[in-house]
Amino acid sequence: MILLINVLLGAINIYFYLLIISVFMSWVPSIKESAFGQAISRITDPYLDIFRRFIPPIGMIDISPIVAIFALNLASRGVLTIANYLIK
C-alpha cells in the first residue's frame, strides 16, 4: 500500500515539473516547436485543456496552468490524506 502511494505521489510530482517546463517553453516558441517541446505538449496539453475550457486567457496571459498546478497540488494532498487515514 505504501509503495502504491509513493508511486502515485512520485507521478504527480513528475507531472508537476512537466507542467512547469511546459509553461516556461511557452515563452520560447522555438523550444515549444522542437521534438522535445512537442513531446511535453502531448503529455501536458490534455490536462491543461480541461482548465482552458473554463478559464479564458486574460489578454495574452493564460492563467489556466496556475489553476491546473493548484488542482494537482490538491490531488497530492488528497492522496496524502487518504494514505494517512488508511495507514492509521
pTM over 0.75: yes
Query: Percentage of the chain surpassing pLDDT 70?
Result: 100
Buried b (16+ CB within 10 A) or exposed e, 43-52: ebeebbeebb
State the number of CA atoms in the 13 A half-sphere of 54 facing the CB: 7
**Cβ contact 32:26 at 8 Å:** yes
Interval 31-59: pLDDT, tens: 989 999 999 999 999 999 999 999 988 88
Taking the mean position of all CA atoms in its chain, how far away is CA 83? 21
